[in-house]
Homo-oligomer: A and B are copies of this chain.
Amino acid sequence: MDIRLFLKNIDLFKDIPEEQITKLAEMTQLSNYEKGERIFYEGDHADGFFVVHSGRVKIFKLSGEGKEQILHVMEPGDPFGEVPMFAGGRYPADAETVEPSLLLFFSRKAFTDVISREPSLAMSMMASLSRRLLHLTTLIENLSLKEVPERLASYLLYLHDRDKIADIDLRISKGQLANILGTSPETLSRTLGRMSSRGIIKVLGRNIRLLDPEAMKEIATGLRFKG
């Protein structure tokens, strides 16, 4: 069956034997979400966690004035919303789809049942949580110690390196990218503009063509880019 095959191939469950996969597949709840639909709010009580089957989900913080900081953009195979299962009981941030998505939900019970039989699931979960800590650590470094051009350059190089294609596909709107980088759409637009006018990139809608990777690396490491 489709869901079993999907579960077998995601990082979190990759070391789990067939019969436990079957059990997980049986206990999964599937839900379809439209683009822009809320999955949970900060402070909601939680009794399980999600895995993205298809689509994309942003995890974000909102300020009182409505300003948004994106913490993660979750993609197919990524688990999210597990933190309250282990600590606090409530979501520490909001979650919303950024495109139509199919999500799997696992109850706390389904998870603990399998973990008691398969300790390797605990190791996978610890690895997953650790990768998230790594990611948030990098985000803090960017927000606190780097300026906007550095953050943008790091992000573009990260995507370029990850996807290994010349034209970087942002896959999200520039407004959302501004929220990931912790800046405003105006500042992002101006920074992209400056990079373009220096011949470092060419902006093609949601694609960025990297013309001068060396110059971009210099910006990313803080060898700056003034005026």
Q: List chain A positions with a Cβ less than 8 A from chain B.
A: 61-65, 67, 69, 71, 82-88, 92-93, 115-116, 119, 122-123, 125-127, 129-134, 136-141, 143-146, 182, 221-222
- Find chain B residues with CB under 8 A from A125 CB: 126
For the complex, give the distance between the alpha carbons of A115 and B138 in Å: 29
Q: Which residues of B contact A92 (CB under 8 A)?
A: 133-134, 137-138
Query: Is the CB–CB distance between A127 and B86 below 8 Å?
Result: yes
A221: B residues at CB distance < 8 A: 64
Known A65-B222, A139-B140, A140-B136; contact A88-B130, beta-carbon cutoff 8 A: yes
**How many copies of this chain are found per oligomer?**
2
Bound Cα distance from A141 to B182, whole angstroms: 10
Assuming the contacts A115-B122, A136-B140, asked whether A130 and B83 have C-beta atoms less than 8 A apart, the reply is: yes
Q: Which one of B63, B84, B93, B130 contacts A146 once the chains associate, using CB atoms below 8 Å?
A: B63
Instruction: Give Cα A180 to B182, complex, Å.
Output: 18
Nearest B residue to A221 via CB reads B64
CB-CB under 8 A from A133, the residues of chain B are 83, 87, 92, 129, 132-133, 136
Complex formed: what's the CA distance from A173 to B67 in Å? 32
Can you show 29 pairs from A to B with CB atoms below 8 A apart? A61-B141, A61-B144, A61-B145, A63-B222, A64-B221, A65-B222, A67-B145, A83-B130, A84-B130, A86-B123, A86-B129, A86-B130, A87-B134, A88-B130, A92-B133, A115-B119, A119-B122, A122-B122, A122-B126, A126-B126, A129-B129, A129-B130, A129-B133, A132-B133, A133-B133, A136-B137, A136-B140, A139-B140, A143-B143
Please state if B82 and A130 are interface contacts (CB–CB under 8 Å).
yes
> How far, in angstroms, from A82 to B130 measured CA to CA in the complex?
8
Chain B residues whose C-beta falls within 8 Å of the C-beta of A63 in the assembled complex: 141, 145-146, 222
- A130 partner, pick from B67, B87, B123, B141, beta carbons under 8 A: B87
Known: A63-B222, A129-B133, A133-B83. A145 touches B69 (CB 8 A): yes
- In the complex, chain B residues whose CB is within 8 Å of the CB of A127: 86-87
- For the complex, give the distance between the alpha carbons of A222 and B67 in Å: 13
